[in-house]
Structure 1
Amino acid sequence: MAQQRVVFVHGAGRFGAAAWPRQHVLAGRYDCLFLRRHGYRPDLPPAPTDHRADAAAVLAALGDGGHVVAHAEGAIAAMMAAVQSPERVWSLSLCEPAVFSLTRDLPATAAHRAHLDALFRDARQLDDDEYAREYRRLVYSAEAASASAADPQAAARQRLQSPPWDAPLEIVPGIPTLVLTGEWEPLYEEAARFLASTGADHRAVGGNHRPQDIEAGQEAITGFLARCAAASVAC
């Protein structure tokens, strides 16, 4: 029997296979593809966010169908792909999903939007380094800091990202969904609670913004994929 496909979609920091160090081991059990989202190819200049291009890339990688594991902003493309072609997305595993267009009027998301709105609005008036410094001042991100150290285009890429609360998202209908959060930031817990209200299984496992990097997160993803893979074979 052919291995089932699992497509991994990174967030705004590390990208491609480098964004999923703990999940490489799953390649022994599944046909794993580690995407690079639009604007994240190291051989091309950074480009502005294109959620529709990202969703199209997820669907192209899935082929006839498979599972999607996504982190942060990558969850936007994963959910858009699931809405567009639910028969091809057999499960969603979303790690700290930045699906803030679904929660934009809830308290934590509204406060986050107010905190960062001026930075996004003024992005064109700042150079890459100025924007990166201001972003780190307003929202400290260990992932962004580590990405900047390893990626000389990280600052330019970060400045071109659009606000995640403007993404064209809809509720995903009837697809098994696991949501992992890191128990560090009310913003992501709020988004997870909203997704749980639509039927997702929310697990707060720790690990800050990268719950997939700790043992509990990896175990949750591995177990969820195994159950969903078995269910898809039974169907």
Structure 2
Amino acid sequence: MTKTRIVFVHGIDGYGAAAWPAQHRLAGRYDCLFLKRSGFDAVEPPAATDFAADARIVIDALGTGGHVVAHAQGAIAAVMAAVERPELVRSLTLLEPSLLSMTAELPATTAYREHLEPLYARRDQLGDIEFTVEFNRLTASMTSTANGRATALAVPRTTPAESAARTAARVRLQVPVWEAPLHIVPGVPTLVLTGGWEPLYEEIAEYLAGTGARHAVTRGGHRPQDSEPGAELLEAFIRETGASGPGVGAHN
């Protein structure tokens, strides 16, 4: 019997299977594809964000259909793919999604954008390391206290083979997330998981809940999928929606 497909779309803190340590266990029951978005590669040079190319990567990976799980910036590609091809998406699980262009007028999103826009305005005048250090400084207040430790959101959890210079080059090349061309996903069961630690992500999650998504708060900070409760919620949602075909209406 053919296994149900799950497509995993990473954020900026790692890519491929390395970005999903707690989800490896699903590979025995599902056909799991751990993607690499455009510009994320161990050999090819880092490249600027290409929202359309990333959405196409997700669509191509879905094949005849499956579930999509996306973290942070990866949620942009997941949502764009679901808007373009909703019939392929059985369910959408968004983990602390960076969908700032959807909540552009809301207070936490506005504050975040105003905080970072001056840095992006002079990005071309800065070197990779210089930009990344400043980016980390500006976002230093956005920390996760998962497992009792404070972890700066901006510091990527990259694979060990990558140098600091390569990581910094990738960070500087990322297009600001508030520029993503996003629309509401029509009729796809959606779960949003947040860590309950940062108003920006809670604001985005509540906005999505208002459009029909289910919102759950669990431990794990910016990576709720790494905690056991978060991983279990993710898996339960996929089991629940697995019996229904793609394109079924959203859950409330």
TM-score by length of 2: 0.90
Cα distance, 1:144 vs structure 2: 4.1
The C-alpha deviation readout for 1:46-81, integer Å capped at 9, x for no partner, is 000001000000000000110100000000000000
1:101 match: 101
Contact residue 33 and residue 61 of structure 1 kept, 8 A: yes
2:208 aligned counterpart, secondary structure: helix
1:220 match: 233
Number of residue pairs aligned between Structure 1 and Structure 2: 234
Q: Unpaired segments of 5 or more residues in structure 2?
A: 141-150
1:38 match: 38
Cα distance, 1:206 vs structure 2: 2.1
Cα distance, 1:123 vs structure 2: 1.0
1:187 match: 200
1:145 match: 155
Contact residue 14 and residue 143 of structure 1 kept, 8 A: no
Cα distance, 1:13 vs structure 2: 1.2
Contact residue 101 and residue 179 of structure 2 kept, 8 A: yes
Q: What is the CA RMSD across the aligned residues, in angstroms?
A: 1.5
Identity level (%): 56
Cα distance, 1:232 vs structure 2: 2.9
Distance across 2 between alignment mates of 1:111 and 1:145: 20
Q: For residues 19-168 of structure 1, what are the structure 2 equivalents within 5 Å? A: 19-140=19-140, 142=152, 144-145=154-155, 147=157, 150=160, 151-152=162-163, 153-168=166-181
Judged with a 3 Å threshold, the aligned counterparts in structure 2 of structure 1 residues 149 and 42 are, in CA distance, closer, same or farther, namely: closer
Q: Relative to total residues, which structure has the larger helix share, 1 or 2?
A: 1
Contact residue 100 and residue 109 of structure 2 kept, 8 A: yes
Distance across 1 between alignment mates of 2:209 and 2:65: 24
The C-alpha deviation readout for 1:135-186, integer Å capped at 9, x for no partner, is 1100136354353683311100000001111100000011000000011100
Q: Unpaired segments of 5 or more residues in structure 1?
A: none
TM-score by length of 1: 0.96
Paired residue type of 1:10: H
Q: Which runs of 4+ in 1 moved over 3 A?
A: 141-144
